[in-house]
């Protein structure tokens, strides 16, 4: 049997018997039959690794697809927008009313002196052609003066009251009503009465009707 080594490193031994030859091949001293088993195992291992890698990639793609499907299937939630609220406009309305005041007092001493008289009354106020009106407003004010028996009294008072206004039964607000009212009277020996009338006025902000 004569040995021969091919250029690829395959060690081949062959024995010629007549026209036939017995050939035994080694790969680095490993018989061919064992080499085939090793190669088969390597091939199977590589195949298994390839299949596993494909499965992982498929799983990743499947998970991504599921996310896309969930996102596509989920209804889009839209937050309703609050309708734009139109700013209300308004204006100041002049309001006024006629007021009557009355009160009684006493002349101090025989020759008179300094005294105070409480005056009361009530009124309703309105404006904007009667569209803005108040309820009855009670008025209570006082006036101080010198009085003497049988001497005519003429005095001005300056009430300042708050009145609440409405329009079509709806509250508008409150405002101050003020003005000057003249009262007069003629005292007797010890007693006298004062009365007078005039207008109180003011202004109030009223929003435009919807």
pLDDT value of residue 19: 47
CB contact at 8 A, 179 and 140: no
Task: Give Cβ neighbours of residue 151 (< 8 Å, ≥ 6 apart).
Answer: 112, 187
State how far the Cα of 144 lies from the Cα of 194, in Å rounded to an integer: 12
Per-residue pLDDT of the chain (210 residues; tens, 9 = 90+): 444 444 444 444 445 455 444 544 444 455 666 666 667 777 777 777 767 766 666 555 565 566 666 556 556 666 667 666 666 788 999 999 999 999 999 999 888 899 999 999 999 999 999 999 999 999 999 999 999 988 999 999 999 999 999 999 999 999 999 999 999 999 887 889 999 999 999 999 999 886
pLDDT value of residue 43: 73
pLDDT value of residue 175: 97
pLDDT value of residue 10: 47
pLDDT value of residue 25: 46
Closest CA to 149 of 113, 119, 118: 113
* SS3 call for 168: coil
Torsion, Cα 55 59 62 66, to 10 degrees, reads 160
pLDDT value of residue 196: 97
Q: What are phi and psi of 14, to 5 degrees?
A: -135, 155
Tell me the pTM.
0.56
């Amino acid at each position: 049997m004569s040995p021969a080594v091919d250029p690829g490193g395959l060690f081949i031994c062959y024995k010629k018997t007549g026209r036939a030859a017995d050939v035994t091949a080694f790969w680095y001293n490993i018989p061919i039959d064992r080499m085939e088993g090793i190669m088969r195992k390597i091939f199977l291992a590589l195949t298994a690794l390839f299949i596993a890698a494909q499965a992982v990639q498929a799983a990743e793609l499947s998970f991504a697809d599921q996310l896309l499907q969930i996102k596509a299937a989920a209804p889009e939630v839209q937050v309703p927008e609050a309708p734009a609220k139109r700013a209300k406009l308004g204006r100041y309305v002049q309001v006024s009313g006629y007021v009557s005041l009355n009160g009684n007092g006493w002349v101090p001493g025989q020759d008179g002196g300094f005294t105070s008289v409480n005056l009361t009354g009530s009124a309703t106020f309105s404006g904007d052609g009667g569209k803005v009106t108040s309820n009855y407003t009670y008025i209570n004010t006082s006036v101080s003066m010198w009085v003497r028996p049988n001497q005519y009294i003429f005095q001005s008072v300056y009430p300042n009251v708050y009145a609440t206004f409405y329009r079509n039964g709806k509250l508008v607000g409150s405002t101050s009503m003020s003005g000057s009212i003249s009262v007069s009277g003629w005292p007797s020996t010890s007693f006298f009465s004062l009365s007078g009338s005039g207008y109180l006025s003011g202004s109030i902000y009223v929003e435009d009707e919807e």
